[in-house]
Chain A
């Protein structure tokens, strides 16, 4: 650990001495003493602006007094400074009262119907630092209300106090300057550009930091009063960034979610998906009772004992494997991992319900499990290299952190990618353009240092040799590696050993000492010693008749790069499905067991750093049980025991595993495949998922879906010219399996490549084309 020496400065606020680091603003030095100076425009994570003038205080430095009160949110402390706030200076007190009165003259008195009422900084501070009655008898400024600045954010201009927090956030934090202040004087107002709505992935933060009810979220508007809500600290289940969150529930129903404050992870921000995509819990048809397939092949409701017995019988009757999706909590994944080994005596388990490779599995065991690259490493990096990873789309808080460092100290960012993205442009990143599949070849040419960080996305597994090249580059440069999957549960599942080559705690399956460790912990005589099958191998083994039963939790078979094989396997095998709602898996299952959604249970996710993000149940009256509890019940029914009846038990057991001090699994070097020649109307497909798309967890939130980026097919200017295509023309991308027809966009992309979103409206590539990256497709003008 390096400790940074910080100069401390002592100042006096209202007669009390306080020592704060050099550069601290007066308003925060006062806070440290518990002295609250009222404020609106001030926000600790935004640059000072001094616009609202609410925080005026009297200041003198070494006996020299400022002639007039100063905005305490803009002035850093200095030695010999004496500050008198509203508590000790009548001048400051009158100045603040005066500003408050002025702020209120044009503010509507609609607190009783305003969403902000009850948690409103203006309301609260008008009470604490204002006067009970106004002297204003004039005409208030009015505006038409409200206006949509996007499908999810509404603006009531007459409520706005013009603190510019929202516009500063959009510019300084998100680098999405889609909103700005227009007009002047009292008619100044927040506005959007003509024909360009506020479609930022981070727009919800402006609603949260608005100190009045001027910006409201469409989904929450007029739904509740803050004092009727029960708030629970929670963690976001949408991606691996690991945002701290707050879930607000009224009478058993989640009404909104807010970004929590964790300076080490998400600071005070989150993305719109994390904030607004929670209706899937209630809007889709949730499973309420267990279902069992009867003699005539129909799924019918069954009692729990009946269903558990059927599940146990089926899993015992044949060789079984486990598929657990990347969205399980750390504890649930641990439950599946233990269940596979103890109850099913197999290592055939894989959490990667997506395009994956053996190279990736070896990379995860050799480089990722137990590793501890963090956000702090990004803060200190001299160079960040992005490989198979689009931070803004796939881990938005990583994007915000990179952006912060880019803005603050011009952090160098390079991206090895097939297409230049909006996110990389905003990061002023160096775009290393490669053909799909050739990423590995470009990695070796990068020069990094021991202070550099390589951020590898899950899509790195889609091109052979990429992860081998990343490992080699890290070895030669001593740069740190961070693997950033899209799903919130993948890192936890990896640590829990929900994969064929690892046991919990990063212990290699093939290592006898490792097996002894875990067998002792679990009270088992021995554990299976052969490396288990991967997801695709499991599907293949079912279809070949080698495996007869599947235990499936939270998997979408359509995320696979071989959907047909996946669906065939699910049709063929005896399937026990643990799910929250009806899905392609439950429809094919023999036993379906309903489980709790994230808001209904406690647990934790490990974010990409490996940092636990724990949460409590936000909805307390749910009757749904966690996967863990149900797995324990199935095991009991099978005559064995996994002894994990509660999350607490799992946490206790996981914490007793300890660090693996044996040898790490090694990794076989894989070389880059040759670049396929493309001729005529052939292209190589490349794609990634957008933050807002057709993801299962975004179902039921139309306001959010309205801000998704447009579905387009991207080709290079050279190819577009050759084809006579311009922006907006229709392009048909096809394979032997099928085709999609999308609007063309000519952008900076490798000449051999065509890009389309992987899972957006009109473009579900894995389903429509059967491929997503690196395959040759045909593109013609439609």
Chain B
């Protein structure tokens, strides 16, 4: 029996799944009609009761976030949807928006009603023009169908391509027309967010999960998942696997189960290490195959559920090389605001390059770990913390491999072996 629970992804295999007609054919926009007839507080309560937690990485209860918005304050409120999906490995929101943009728009209508907002802004990363076009068309169709524009407006904002703008306060700065850099908190966005007004910032998947919850009720949603991590979610499988893609399953499923469902590691190879939630979550190894992939389970095993981006690496992969590539990404994306992240990532890259090239020493490993200790928890936002996770976790599990680079005077791996085209030319 399959453990998959296609809700968001239920109709993605239909040719016209992204159209308003297809969405309506499957009952789309009935949940928003239902919600609009409800008292906003009742909608918030329902979402609270469902146990839905933020799908952007931190897992903060969505209903509670909505409840923080002060009511009766005579101020404009805003809903901001974070579609700046940029984490290496994370690839759930873009397929979702390609296949079914209307579920997000319907979620926006419900959320705006609940938090008494008249405007929702969807902040999408600038590189994904195809997704932006599709979402724009969907918004236009929703206006034409009279679903938007009657008290609730949705604006699509296209970012300019900065990872930091996925951080909610940097996103707000960027949305306001400034350079994206994280803001000092407090004040939190719920009190002074976009244009200094009470603002809810939610991930695409969080908002897109709401229509089904309204339609089917909190108890239905609670029926899935584990004790503290309710519901189902999209797991994005990528890397050295037979069938990469989105697997929608209840929270708490294990990687072993997902690999079984998907067909496993690519032929002839074995799992070496993987990320549970994108490159900023500490890596796991084969010993974590049975860790329940919910917020608590992953956390207890020393990592984070993050965006559920399951990046799979097999035995052909050099962990030092993989970690260096990630670190180069963080150096490139560090916004520069705070010292530990800005200067730390600059230094980390140089140390790792030396190590990969076999020019490092064992003392450099100690220096690397100490440097991570001086960045982790010292930087302004989570970007700096995230930059250290792959390094510290990889040294924890694969210290010998780092040492091998030192003793070997270079990388002992054939980089071609880990590629898709490995063996093609032979």
Does the CB pair B374–A101 fall under 8 Å? yes
Residues of B283-338 whose CB lies within 8 A of A: 331-338
Is A660 on the interface with B (CB-CB < 8 A)?
A: no
Q: Does B260 contact A (CB under 8 A)?
A: no
The verdict on A105 contacting B334 (CB below 8 Å), with A56-B378, A99-B339 known, is no
- In the complex, the answer to whether B380 meets A50 with C-beta atoms within 8 Å is yes
CA distance A138 to B360 in the complex (A): 12
What chain B residues lie within 8 Å of A69 (beta carbons)?
Answer: 377-378
The SS class assigned to the B binding surface is helix
Contact in complex: A105, B373 (CB < 8 Å): no
Across the interface, do A138 and B351 meet the contact criterion of CB distance under 8 Å? yes
Task: Tell me the nearest residue of chain B to A104, going by C-beta.
Answer: B343
- Interface 1/0s, chain B 373-393, versus A by CB < 8 A? 111011110000000000000
A187 proximal to B (CB < 8 A): yes
Residue A664 at the B interface, CB < 8 A? no
Pair B339/A185 contact, Cβ less than 8 Å:
no
**CB distance B338 to A103 under 8 Å?**
no
Q: Does B282 contact A (CB under 8 A)?
A: no
Cβ of A192 to closest chain B Cβ, rounded Å: 15
| A106→B343 contact, CB < 8 A | yes
Query: Restricting to A118-162, which residues have a CB under 8 Å from any CB of B?
Result: 135-136, 138-139, 141, 161-162
A53-B343 in contact given A98-B374, A184-B336, A186-B334 (Cβ < 8 Å): no
Residues of B within 8 A of A99 (CB): 339-340, 374, 378
Chain B residues 29 to 87 lying within 8 A of chain A, measured CB to CB, are: none
A102 vs chain B, min Cβ distance (A): 4
Cα(A184)–Cα(B165), bound, Å? 12
Q: Which of A94, A102, A183, A188 contacts B340 (CB 8 A)?
A: A102
- Tell me how far the C-beta of B169 lies from the nearest C-beta in chain A, rounded to whole angstroms: 12
Q: Do A187 and B336 touch across chains, with their CB atoms under 8 A apart?
A: yes
* A186 and B337 contacting across the interface, CB-CB below 8 Å: no
Contact B339 A53 (CB under 8 A): yes
Structural contact, B378 and A181, CB atoms closer than 8 A: no
Bound-state CA distance A138–B355 (Å) is: 13
Query: In the bound complex, do residue B332 and residue A181 qualify as a contact, i.e. CB atoms below 8 Å apart?
Result: no
CB-based contact A94/B346 at 8 Å:
no
Is A24 an interface residue when CB atoms closer than 8 A count as contact?
A: no
B334 neighbours in A (Cβ, 8 Å): 184-186
* A50 and B184 contact, Cβ closer than 8 Å, known pairs A98-B373, A98-B378: yes
Interface: A51 (CB within 8 A):
yes
Which A residues lie within 8 Å of B374 (CB)?
Answer: 94-95, 98-99, 101-102
Q: Does A523 contact B (CB under 8 A)?
A: no
Which size bracket describes the interface of B in this complex? 20 to 34
Taking the complex as formed, is B246 at the interface, i.e. its CB lies under 8 A from any CB of chain A?
no
Contact of B346 with A186 in the complex, beta carbons under 8 Å: yes
| A659 within 8 A of partner (CB) | no
A74 is an interface residue with CB less than 8 A from chain B: yes
Chain A residues within 8 Å of B335, by CB? 184-185, 188
Q: What's the Cα separation between A141 and B371 when bound, in Å?
A: 18
Interface residue count on the A side (C-beta < 8 Å) = 36
Residue of B nearest to A95 (CB): B378
Contact partners of A185 in chain B: CB under 8 A? 331-336, 342, 345-346
**B411 adjacent to chain A (CB < 8 Å):** no
B337 and A51 within 8 A (CB): yes
Q: Give the docked Cα–Cα distance between A105 and B349 (Å).
A: 13
Residue from A49, A53, A67 with most neighbouring chain B CB atoms (10 Å) = A53
Least CB separation from B335: chain A residue: A184
Partner of A51 from B351, B371, B380 at Cβ < 8 Å: B380
Cβ contact of A183, chosen from B184, B336, B346, B377, cutoff 8 A: B336
* Cβ of A421 under 8 Å from chain B: no
B349: nearest residue on chain A (CB-CB)?
Answer: A138
Of all chain B residues, the one with the shortest Cβ separation from A180 is B179
Cβ contacts under 8 Å, B342 to chain A: 162, 185-186, 188
- Which residues of A51-110 are within 8 A (CB) of B? 51-54, 56, 67-69, 74, 94-95, 98-99, 101-103, 105-106
Tell me whether B129 is interfacial, beta carbon within 8 Å.
no
Nearest Cβ distance between residue A716 and chain B, in whole angstroms?
A: 31
Q: Are A105 and B336 in contact (CB under 8 A)?
A: no
Does B347 belong to the interface (CB within 8 Å)?
yes
Distance (whole angstroms) from the CB of B184 to the closest CB of chain A: 5
User: What's the Cα separation between A56 and B377 when bound, in Å?
Assistant: 10
Give CA–CA (A67, B377) in the complex, Å: 9
Contacts of B175 in A (CB 8 A): none
How many angstroms from the CA of A99 to the CA of B371 in the assembled complex? 10
The complex places the Cα of A102 from the Cα of B347 at a distance, in Å, of 8
CA distance A234 to B370 in the complex (A): 49
A103 touches B339 (CB 8 A): yes
Q: Which residues of A contact B371 (CB under 8 A)?
A: 98
CB distance from B287 to the nearest CB of A (A): 26
Q: Which of B164, B179, B343, B375 contacts A186 (CB 8 A)?
A: B343
How far apart are B188's CB and chain A's nearest CB, in angstroms? 14
Q: Which residue of A lies closest to B367 (CB)?
A: A135
Complex: A188 Cα to B336 Cα, angstroms: 6
- The interface centre, meaning the residue of B332, B339, B345 with most chain A CB atoms within 10 A of its CB, is B339
Measured CA separation A342–B379 after assembly (Å): 72
Residues of B within 8 A of A161 (CB): 339
A221, B350: Cα distance in complex, Å: 34
Complex interface: chain B residues within 8 A of A117 (CB): none
Assess whether B107 is interfacial by the CB under 8 Å rule: no
List chain B positions with a Cβ less than 8 A from chain A: 162, 164, 179, 184, 331-340, 342-347, 350-351, 367, 370-371, 373-375, 377-380
19 chain-A/chain-B pairs, Cβ below 8 angstroms: A50-B380, A51-B338, A51-B380, A53-B340, A54-B339, A56-B378, A69-B378, A94-B374, A102-B340, A102-B343, A102-B347, A138-B347, A138-B351, A141-B346, A162-B339, A184-B164, A184-B333, A185-B333, A185-B345
- The 7 nearest A-B residue pairs measured at CB: A98-B374, A188-B336, A68-B377, A138-B350, A102-B343, A185-B334, A186-B346
Using A68-B377, A95-B374, A185-B335 as known contacts, list a sample of 16 further A-B pairs with CB atoms less than 8 Å apart, ordered by residue number in A: A50-B380, A53-B338, A67-B377, A99-B339, A103-B343, A139-B350, A161-B339, A183-B336, A184-B164, A184-B334, A185-B336, A185-B346, A186-B334, A186-B345, A186-B346, A188-B342
